[in-house]
């Protein structure tokens, strides 16, 4: 704007002026982009493989958790809560040094006292530790325990595979009989059936350590001539733990599997009889299962029965997406210094079940939807409102409100959108009179009632109004709309 600048600009040709403007625009855009980049870099970021469970999903989680809890109670399992951190050797001693979990997936660190600790990658080892620490061998056997909570594995994140995920696990410790294996499988099947997810149990027996020894030699002999065809991981497995080759996802290995020796042919008589009994019990209970000779599971502590829960009609990625898995682990407690103690268990992967629920549109509402809206005008009304909300809670009448909106019109608009049956209106006059207005949202009719009687009157009205139960649910889509509006 200075005369000098104007004269300089006057001297530019049209092309030069255009170029100058373009350069200035570019510089401005860069400043804005840098600013945006800085802003973004300073925003908090969620760790890879970790996720928030948002209000939208809570209906599914509630149904899943409640169903698990109810069926656990019905089958007389006792709940146990275990710490998230354990000494690292608890897991290295039990899960197996060559397993993926121990080799690469555990979150391990040294705490301030110099103890090497790990975020738990699973629950079975902790349950076994607790059984020993609390002398549960002195209780009537089997001890039936269940747990639910987050687990941590530094795995490669992908669909259905997280670094923090949740498991619900069931363990029966102190009984070696096949009925225990069968009862756990029936329980898993029933929980998923109750929720509405049809599954087939994939099942195998890997016998005892003794009968496996001979089989492993045979298996390694079979794969050795094909060594060149194996990937790096499978080559390592061939040397250290040939059983895990059966679990390989490599198509070249999967082709070779057809000719590989099968563990069932190496089972001793006791292992065979145990497995046959488990299958007979499953037939009896009408649980659909498929014999899967390649199922070996990724943890080393298993003996005899191993199983996984595969959703019916999955898209071929079944083994990567098991909704749960488990088996017998007769040697695990002994590894931890206990006398020989047979045990069996399984764990669900809750995120995977939630995903299956979403695929099947199983989506109950997260909480009872309010049929009553409370509109208050002024601070005196707000004060009374605090007390009234407590009265309504005790009477089990969920009430919505729009704190932050002062005008009656605006509050009634929210009430309309929430589709409530009644709105309570409390102004300064009503506070002074000890009354409150009940507005019927369908007819628009209003009546003034004694504030002391409002809870019982509302209760009666809600009971009377056809099909309206104060605790009934409305579809999630409607709730969402309501929440959004309140949020605004």
Asked if residue 144 binds ligand HAM (CB under 6 A), the reply is: no
Contacting residue, 278, 323, 357, 370, with ligand HAM by CB under 6 A: 323
- Helix, strand, coil shares of the chain, percent, nearest 5, are 50, 20, 30
Indicate the residue among 188 and 462 with the shorter CB distance to ligand HAM: 188
Question: Burial code of 137-150, b = ≥16 C-beta within 10 A, e = fewer?
Answer: eeeebbbbbbbbee
Asked if residue 322 binds ligand HAM (CB under 6 A), the reply is: yes
CA distance 202 to 199: 9
Asked if residue 332 binds ligand HAM (CB under 6 A), the reply is: no
- C-beta of 136: minimal distance to ligand HAM in Å? 16
Maximum pairwise Cα distance, the chain: 105
Indicate the residue among 188 and 476 with the shorter CB distance to ligand HAM: 188
Say which residue the tokens 């990567």 belong to: 320
Indicate the residue among 80 and 323 with the shorter CB distance to ligand HAM: 323
- The piece of 163-171, 197-205, 259-267, 454-462 that touches ligand HAM (CB under 6 A) is 163-171
- The piece of 119-127, 280-288, 409-417, 475-483 that touches ligand HAM (CB under 6 A) is 119-127
The token duo for 287 is 């649980």
Contacting residue, 92, 99, 124, 341, with ligand HAM by CB under 6 A: 124
Indicate the residue among 105 and 430 with the shorter CB distance to ligand HAM: 105
Q: Is 264 exposed, middle or buried (0-12, 13-18, 19+ CB in 10 A)?
A: middle
Asked if residue 342 binds ligand HAM (CB under 6 A), the reply is: no
Q: Is 203 exposed, middle or buried (0-12, 13-18, 19+ CB in 10 A)?
A: buried
CA distance 84 to 49: 18
Asked if residue 346 binds ligand HAM (CB under 6 A), the reply is: yes
Residue nearest to ligand HAM according to CB distances in the complex: 349
The residues, ordered by sequence, that sit 6+ positions from 84 with a Cβ below 8 Å of its Cβ are 119, 120, 149, 150, 152
CA distance 124 to 326: 10
CA distance 424 to 388: 11
Asked if residue 68 binds ligand HAM (CB under 6 A), the reply is: no
Pairing of strands 164-173, 78-79: unpaired
Nearest to 432 by CA among 380, 372, 360, 475: 380
3-state secondary structure of 469: coil
Strand positions, DSSP E, 15-98: 78-79, 85-87
The token duo for 131 is 């059984």
Residues 411 and 462 sit within 8 Å (Cβ to Cβ) = no
Contacting residue, 345, 385, 427, 470, with ligand HAM by CB under 6 A: 345
Asked if residue 169 binds ligand HAM (CB under 6 A), the reply is: yes
Per-residue contact string for residues 18-47; x = within reach of ligand HAM by CB under 6 A: ------------------------------
Contacting residue, 120, 144, 352, 371, with ligand HAM by CB under 6 A: 352
In order of 144, 147, 215, the CA distances from 81 in angstroms are: 13, 6, 38
Asked if residue 185 binds ligand HAM (CB under 6 A), the reply is: no
Indicate the residue among 21 and 320 with the shorter CB distance to ligand HAM: 320
Strand positions, DSSP E, 226-353: 289-291, 303-311, 324-328, 343-349
Asked if residue 162 binds ligand HAM (CB under 6 A), the reply is: yes
Indicate the residue among 161 and 417 with the shorter CB distance to ligand HAM: 161
Nearest to 144 by CA among 201, 84, 71, 199: 71
CA distance 437 to 423: 8
Indicate the residue among 215 and 302 with the shorter CB distance to ligand HAM: 302
- The piece of 39-47, 122-130, 268-276, 277-285 that touches ligand HAM (CB under 6 A) is 122-130
Asked if residue 351 binds ligand HAM (CB under 6 A), the reply is: yes
Applying the rule CB under 6 A, the residues between 281 and 310 that interact with ligand HAM are 298-299
- C-beta of 389: minimal distance to ligand HAM in Å? 39
Asked if residue 155 binds ligand HAM (CB under 6 A), the reply is: yes
- The piece of 194-202, 310-318, 324-332, 442-450 that touches ligand HAM (CB under 6 A) is 324-332
Asked if residue 349 binds ligand HAM (CB under 6 A), the reply is: yes
The binding site for ligand HAM (CB under 6 A) comprises 122-124, 153, 155, 160-162, 165, 167, 169, 171, 298-299, 322-327, 329, 345-347, 349, 351-352
């Amino acid at each position: 704007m200075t005369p000098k600048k104007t004269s300089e600009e006057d001297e530019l040709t049209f092309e030069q002026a255009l170029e100058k403007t373009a350069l200035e625009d570019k510089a401005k855009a860069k400043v804005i982009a840098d600013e945006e980049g800085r802003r973004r870099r300073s925003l908090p970021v969620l760790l890879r493989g970790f996720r928030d469970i948002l209000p939208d999903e809570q209906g599914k989680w509630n149904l899943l958790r409640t169903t698990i809890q109810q069926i656990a109670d019905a089958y007389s399992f006792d709940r146990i809560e275990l710490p998230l951190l354990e000494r690292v050797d608890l897991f290295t001693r039990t899960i197996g040094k060559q397993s993926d979990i121990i080799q690469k997936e555990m979150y391990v660190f040294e705490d301030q006292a110099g103890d090497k600790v790990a975020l738990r990658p699973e629950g079975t080892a902790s349950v076994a530790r607790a059984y020993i620490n609390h002398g549960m061998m002195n209780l009537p056997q089997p001890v039936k325990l269940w747990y639910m909570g987050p687990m941590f594995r530094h795995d490669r994140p992908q669909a259905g595979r997280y670094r923090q995920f949740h498991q619900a696990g069931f363990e029966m410790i102190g009984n070696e009989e096949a009925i225990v294996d069968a009862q756990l499988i029936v329980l898993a099947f029933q929980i998923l059936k109750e929720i509405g997810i049809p599954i087939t149990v994939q099942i195998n027996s890997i016998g005892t350590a003794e009968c496996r020894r001979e089989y492993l030699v045979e298996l390694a002999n079979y794969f050795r001539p094909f060594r060149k065809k194996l990937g790096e991981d499978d080559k390592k497995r061939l040397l250290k733990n040939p059983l895990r080759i059966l679990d390989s996802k490599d198509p070249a290995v999967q082709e070779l599997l057809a000719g590989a020796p099968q563990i069932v042919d190496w089972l001793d008589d006791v292992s065979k009889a145990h497995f046959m009994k488990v299958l007979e019990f499953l037939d009896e209970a009408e649980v659909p299962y498929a014999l899967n000779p390649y199922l070996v599971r990724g943890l080393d502590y298993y003996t005899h029965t191993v199983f996984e829960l595969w959703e019916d009609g999955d898209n071929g990625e079944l083994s990567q997406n098991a909704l749960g898995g488990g088996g017998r682990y007769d040697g695990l407690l002994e590894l931890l210094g206990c006398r020989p103690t047979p045990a069996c268990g399984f764990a669900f992967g809750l995120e995977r079940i939630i995903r299956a629920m979403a695929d099947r549109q199983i989506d109950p509402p997260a909480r009872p939807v309010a049929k009553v809206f409370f509109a208050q005008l002024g601070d005196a009304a707000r004060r009374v409102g605090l007390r009234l909300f407590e009265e309504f809670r005790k009477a089990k009448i969920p009430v919505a409100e729009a704190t932050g909106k002062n005008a009656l019109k605006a509050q009634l608009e929210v009430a309309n959108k929430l589709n409530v049956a009644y709105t309570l209106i409390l102004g300064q006059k009503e506070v002074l009179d000890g009354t409150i207005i009940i507005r019927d949202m369908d007819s628009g009719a209003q009546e003034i009632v004694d504030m002391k009687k409002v809870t019982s009157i509302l209760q009666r009205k809600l009971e009377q109004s056809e099909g309206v139960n104060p605790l009934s649910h409305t579809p999630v889509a409607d709730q969402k709309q309501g929440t959004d509006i309140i949020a605004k």
